[in-house]
Structure 1
């Protein structure tokens, strides 16, 4: 069963602390070393990406992403060790959830109308 069938969000204090979009953003930031480059890859504005990072950083007791301002040497962003641990934990939650619900997901998906 595909874990992508499940979309899990972790809510905290009225915000989505983690969800599929934020995890994807973190993965792109880790690969690109830049919020701006990650936003471009996801076809979202820099402002929206920065807002998502800000929400994550405010929801957790440790920084998820740290950034340095631009300038003559350029800026950048880095997913922290804690941020990488969140990515890994989220992926494990998806995998375990899909495994635990495999029978039920099979029942549901086999009865979905074909496009």
Structure 2
């Protein structure tokens, strides 16, 4: 995947802890999150399942969308995820990643 601005939401599990991020390379960022290479919130809380993402035309647009979503209340974020991913499937698997080991 070429560089493409993207806003994404990771979750620890269904209705679990959420993380909203922005990147210019979703595949590389997913590797970082899934392999625990980014210290901090996502590593500490086991937040690595891709449950929603949205491509943007520019990085500025992606950052604006990220800031908007971060201001939303939790119910709005859950509704956004469930509109396109009602079963909270790890969308990264569809992008070629191995499923996350639930015992890890």
TM-score tier, shorter chain, comes to: under 0.3
Q: Report the TM-score when normalising by structure 1.
A: 0.26
* Larger strand share, 1 or 2: 2
Q: Which structure is larger by alpha-carbon Rg, 1 or 2?
A: 1
Q: Report the TM-score when normalising by structure 2.
A: 0.27
* Larger helix share, 1 or 2: 1
